[in-house]
A and B are shown apart, each in its own frame.
Chain A
Amino acid sequence: MKKFDRLTGVAAPLEMVNVDTDMIIPKQFLKTIKRTGLGAGLFDELRRNQDGSEKPDFVLNKPAYRNAKILIAGRNFGCGSSREHAPWALQDFGITCVISPSYADIFFNNCFQNGILPIVLPEATVKELQDDAKKGSNAVFSVDLEKQEITRPDGGVVKFDIDPFRKQCLLKGLDNVGLTLEKKSVIAAHEERAKLQQPWLAARA
């Protein structure tokens, strides 16, 4: 998995609430059998008209935010479908950090599997950061996961919380499957116990 330790870059403010994963990456992009190349479809229906031309008003189409690395979003970001194509699209576009008052559970989990840091902050703080971000390409933020700090364009620091296990996984870019495979023997022991409790599950009728 990709690591996340720190990043410095422009943040795009997206003030909408309840941005769903259908909006982040519409279904026509889900027909791929690869994880890569999905950045082209990120927010497709918000970014482009039906004829493929750009909608100039959408934040990621504005010159200041075309290379944004951070997205500062409204509450309940990533609700709806479980499609991991949503974080894949963000990652491929170059956005590896999202800041929001809250996330839907599945999207939140999916971020950590892909080297994307979803930061949770109080709504008022998120609004302040969005106001910072509106200043455009001069408004550069730094995010330091080790220190759990965001440095605002004016040098002010905002601290954030994060689950310690997830923090370590992101910092080290750990392979979660590999980590669990090391626990083969406890998994096998569980299977033996479960076979006694619910023997009908082990062998399908």
Chain B
Amino acid sequence: MAAPRTLFDKIWDSHLIERQADGSSLIYIDRHLVHEVTSPQAFEGLRVAGRKVRRPDLTLAVADHNVPTTDRSKGIDDEESRIQVEALEKNAKDFGVEHYGMNDIRQGVVHIIGPEQGFTLPGTTIVCGDSHTSTHGAFGALAFGIGTSEVEHVLATQTLVQARPKNMRMTVEGMLGKGVSAKDIVLAIIGKIGTAGGTGYVIEYAGNAIRALSMEGRMTVCNMTIEGGARAGLIAPDETTYAYLKGRPMTPKGGAWEQALAYWKTLPSDEGAVFDKEIRLDAARIAPHVTWGTSPQDVLPIDGIVPDPKSVADDGARAAMERALVYIGLQPGTKLVDVKIDRVFIGSCTNGRIEDLRAAADIAKGRKVAGHVNAMVVPGSGLVKQQAEAEGLDRVFIEAGFEWREPGCSMCLAMNADKLKPRERCASTSNRNFEGRQGRDGRTHLLSPAMAAAAAISGRLADVREFAK
């Protein structure tokens, strides 16, 4: 009998074209997502060399990073942003790649639309010139971010040369407490392993707490896997996965669906498969989390206090903490619930899906955003926006005092007009609290959608458990 294999091993083995003499592998790529920021130089490279896109039918393009989230009927004001968005449209047309334009209802953040359209499927390899490609691992797909040179390589050859990563299994068992979400699970994990803890690994998430998550929640966990240093997160496909995928525009239909389903059911890690590293976490002990510093690993339960650099032994880590506290403008010993905020951002590839908006709306309903806070909700896609409006969530947000915007990456990375002013403090459902990420000298606190809504109403970081109805 063959040796037991992990989910990762199975996907890797079935996509291995050849192992090269030096040990690196040439692997086949089933799905390639393309956005406007990391692709223009790749298409230009093809043009200069007179090369074509090998499999335009396996490629899907959408503009998300630069698009305005306000009225789009007049186009994009910022000239550079407009040029980049137009370049994508032209490149897609010239090379025969399907493209969702800014006014297409299917437009949205690239990692939201892949699953939404059923472009993302279990057992596949998926890449995109974007580190949050890890999101798609929620479907049991090996999905990871690549640079622009690799984008060009995939466009031209539909393959990549890669070193085989190692297997890590992160088992989360137990029942999540009230007000605790997938975002809190992944923030707790990053707090535990650190921002480089997963470097060189693919992390498979397992355990009944992961199984109990919806696809939206699983995507949140896999999305932020890169913040723990691992390029890909994986969750074995199951009935939740199949129920989400069935009937989506690009999923197989009829007999092909049955055939695919039979194959997908062979994918979960075999009993006895060996992982290079195993970590366990008790879900019941995870509280709502929030970051206090400038790295996603700078994270604590909401009832915590800002840490003191004096307590850190390692020179590099202490210097990083001192720098982070100066940047973020907080004193050691401050209670996190005493931190006053100016802005709230709900959205992004981490938390811009329908379930995220429902969780935030649930807290916002019948309440008001604090007078000094500007809060905005940016749906992850046109279809998420449509769904939310059908459920009346837009009314809930608007009545509570939130702005209701058009879909895009928005203030997750602030490439469009949505950004923090210097020293503005933001409670954000996005994925990175790096210096300058949401605007120069802007201060970011990462948290879940429900926690973000609670912060908007309180005007400070707040414990969502106190909002339970």
Task: List residues of chain A with CB under 8 Å of any chain B CB.
Answer: 15-18, 20, 22-23, 26-28, 30-35, 45, 50, 74-76, 79-84, 87, 102, 104-106, 109-110, 113-114, 163-165, 176-178, 180-181, 183, 186-187, 190-191, 194, 197-205
Does A22 lie within 8 Å of B256, measured CB to CB? no
* Residue from A17, A33, A104 in contact with B229 in the complex, judged by beta carbons closer than 8 Å: A104
* Residue from B256, B320, B323 in contact with A199 in the complex, judged by beta carbons closer than 8 Å: B256
A180 CA / B158 CA spacing, docked (Å): 10
Does B28 lie within 8 Å of A187, measured CB to CB? yes
- With a cutoff of 8 Å between Cβ atoms, the chain B residues found around residue A181 in the complex are 51, 156-157
12 more contacts with CB within 8 A, not counting A26-B440, A81-B131, are: A34-B40, A80-B131, A83-B38, A87-B147, A177-B49, A194-B15, A194-B30, A200-B252, A200-B260, A201-B30, A205-B250, A205-B251
A75 CA / B195 CA spacing, docked (Å): 11
Does B129 lie within 8 Å of A82, measured CB to CB? yes
- For the complex formed, measure the closest distance between the CB of B7 and the CB atoms of chain A, giving whole angstroms: 15
Does A22 lie within 8 Å of B319, measured CB to CB? no
Known interface pairs A76-B196, A205-B252; A50-B434 also in contact (CB < 8 Å): no
Known interface pairs A76-B195, A82-B131; A17-B317 also in contact (CB < 8 Å): yes
Does B22 lie within 8 Å of A109, measured CB to CB? no
Known interface pairs A22-B432, A176-B149, A180-B159; A104-B199 also in contact (CB < 8 Å): yes
Does B40 lie within 8 Å of A33, measured CB to CB? yes
Q: What are some 5 contacts across the A-B interface (CB < 8 A)?
A: A20-B432, A34-B40, A109-B150, A200-B256, A205-B249
Does A23 lie within 8 Å of B199, measured CB to CB? no
- For the complex formed, measure the closest distance between the CB of A117 and the CB atoms of chain B, giving whole angstroms: 16
* Residue from A17, A113, A183 in contact with B18 in the complex, judged by beta carbons closer than 8 Å: A183
Docked complex: B293-328 residues within 8 A CB-CB of A: 295, 316-317, 319-320, 323
Does A22 lie within 8 Å of B434, measured CB to CB? yes
A180 CA / B150 CA spacing, docked (Å): 12
Known interface pairs A33-B87, A82-B130, A205-B251; A23-B229 also in contact (CB < 8 Å): no
Does A15 lie within 8 Å of B316, measured CB to CB? yes
User: Does B265 interact with chain A (Cβ within 8 Å)?
Assistant: no
Task: List residues of chain B with CB under 8 Å of any chain A CB.
Answer: 14-15, 17-18, 20-24, 26, 28, 30, 37-38, 40-41, 44-45, 49, 51, 54, 57-58, 65-66, 78, 80-81, 83-84, 87, 118-119, 121, 123-124, 129-131, 145-150, 152-153, 156-159, 161, 163, 195-196, 199-200, 226-227, 229, 231, 249-253, 256-257, 259-260, 263, 295, 316-317, 319-320, 323, 413-415, 422, 432, 434-437, 440-441
* Residue from A20, A110, A113, A190 in contact with B28 in the complex, judged by beta carbons closer than 8 Å: A190
- With a cutoff of 8 Å between Cβ atoms, the chain B residues found around residue A180 in the complex are 26, 153, 156-157, 159, 161
Give B46's nearest chain A residue, CB to CB: A177
Does B146 lie within 8 Å of A82, measured CB to CB? yes
- For the complex formed, measure the closest distance between the CB of A4 and the CB atoms of chain B, giving whole angstroms: 15
Does A177 lie within 8 Å of B38, measured CB to CB? no
- With a cutoff of 8 Å between Cβ atoms, the chain A residues found around residue B436 in the complex are 22-23, 26, 45
- With a cutoff of 8 Å between Cβ atoms, the chain B residues found around residue A105 in the complex are 199-200, 229, 231
- With a cutoff of 8 Å between Cβ atoms, the chain B residues found around residue A84 in the complex are 38, 41, 129, 147-149
The 8 A-B pairs with the shortest beta carbon distances in the complex, nearest first, are A113-B149, A165-B22, A33-B40, A200-B252, A31-B80, A84-B147, A110-B147, A82-B145
* Residue from B21, B41, B440 in contact with A33 in the complex, judged by beta carbons closer than 8 Å: B41
- With a cutoff of 8 Å between Cβ atoms, the chain A residues found around residue B437 in the complex are 22, 27
Known interface pairs A81-B131, A105-B231; A45-B159 also in contact (CB < 8 Å): no
Known interface pairs A180-B153, A200-B259; A186-B18 also in contact (CB < 8 Å): yes
Known interface pairs A74-B316, A205-B252; A191-B28 also in contact (CB < 8 Å): yes
- With a cutoff of 8 Å between Cβ atoms, the chain A residues found around residue B320 in the complex are 16-18
- With a cutoff of 8 Å between Cβ atoms, the chain A residues found around residue B226 in the complex are 80
A181 CA / B53 CA spacing, docked (Å): 12
- For the complex formed, measure the closest distance between the CB of A184 and the CB atoms of chain B, giving whole angstroms: 8
- With a cutoff of 8 Å between Cβ atoms, the chain B residues found around residue A28 in the complex are 415
Does A187 lie within 8 Å of B131, measured CB to CB? no
Most buried by A among B17, B123, B320: B17
Known interface pairs A102-B196, A106-B147, A180-B157; A20-B434 also in contact (CB < 8 Å): yes
